[in-house]
Amino acid sequence: MRYHILVLLLAMSSLLTAFALSNTAEQYTVDTDHSQVKWTGEKVGGSHYGHVAVKEGVLHVADGKIESGLVVLDMSSMVVEDLKGFMKRKLEKHLKSEDFFNVEAYPTATFKIKKVYRQGKQQDEFKVIGDLTIKGITKEIHFPATIALSPTFITAKALITVDRTAFDVRYGSGSFFDDLGNKTIYDDFKLEVNIKANQK
């Protein structure tokens, strides 16, 4: 009787160990030199675009899929690409001011991955759900992404539309100010995300 109990316990222990090993997350570190987030903001009669650097990040992979992760953006690195000289410097300074992203008080923005699951017909088509934090305000967002995962690296691309007013970025918003006319800046801005991460 004791022998059978011992065998059963050993079998259960082996199964639990195998289960734990199969669910051990592998860590991929974001390659900041090959990762970037491009932004586009539109206004009445035009638009501006540029990029912001990825400061750091990590992705956790288990059973061949991303389980969780965190990407940190360096808001002080925000660059305007469609202007030059004085106008370029002026807009960059304004975007970093309290009117917009208040970079001095909030030097980083973060995206925390909560869930990733496959959608669509292609093997690299996924839906990503997570918490975006800008200016200390956190909102859940979800978006489609193209993700390629290998034993040594991950690449992820996504086009994300964000309502800036949800993060208390209201300057020039027609939703909060009247009679702005051709000075109206649209609430939604777009983020074109390109991330590469290497297995640690």
- Statement: residue 11 has pLDDT above 80: no
d(Cα 53, Cα 37) in Å, to the nearest integer? 6
- Statement: residue 24 has pLDDT above 70: no
Residue 186 near residue 192 (C-beta atoms within 8 A): no
- Spatial CB neighbours of 102, under 8 Å, sequence gap ≥ 6: 96, 135
Average pLDDT, the chain: 87
For the chain, what are the domain ranges?
A: 25-199
Question: What pLDDT digit, counting tens, does each position of 123-168 carry?
Answer: 899 999 999 999 999 999 999 999 999 989 999 999 999 999 999 9
Better-scored residue on pLDDT, 7 or 47: 47
Question: What pLDDT digit, counting tens, does each position of 86-96 carry?
Answer: 999 999 999 99
Mean pLDDT of 18-37: 78
In CATH terms, the superfamily for domain 25-199 is Lipid/polyisoprenoid-binding, YceI-like (2.40.128.110)
Residue 72 near residue 31 (C-beta atoms within 8 A): no
